[in-house]
Amino acid sequence: MTLPTVADCRLVPAGVDWDAIRVPRTIGMDVLRILGRHSGAVIEDPCGSALYWFVSKGAATAWDVPETRPLGVTHHLVVPSTHRVRRPGPHWLFSPADRQLITDVGNLRAAVKDASALRRNP
Report how many domains make up the chain.
1
Find how far residue 86's CA is from the centre of its chain. Answer: 16
Going by pLDDT thresholds of 50, 70 and 90, the confidence category of residue 46 is confident
Q: What is the pLDDT of residue 87?
A: 85
Domain of residue 16: give its range: 3-120
Mean residue pLDDT of the chain comes to 92
Q: What is the pLDDT of residue 88?
A: 84
Mean pLDDT of 94-104: 94
Closest by CA to 24, choosing from 5, 1, 4, 45, is 45
Proportion of the chain in helix, strand, coil states, percent, rounded to 5:
30, 30, 45
Q: Tell me the percentage of the chain whose pLDDT exceeds 90.
A: 77
Q: Tell me the percentage of the chain whose pLDDT exceeds 70.
A: 93
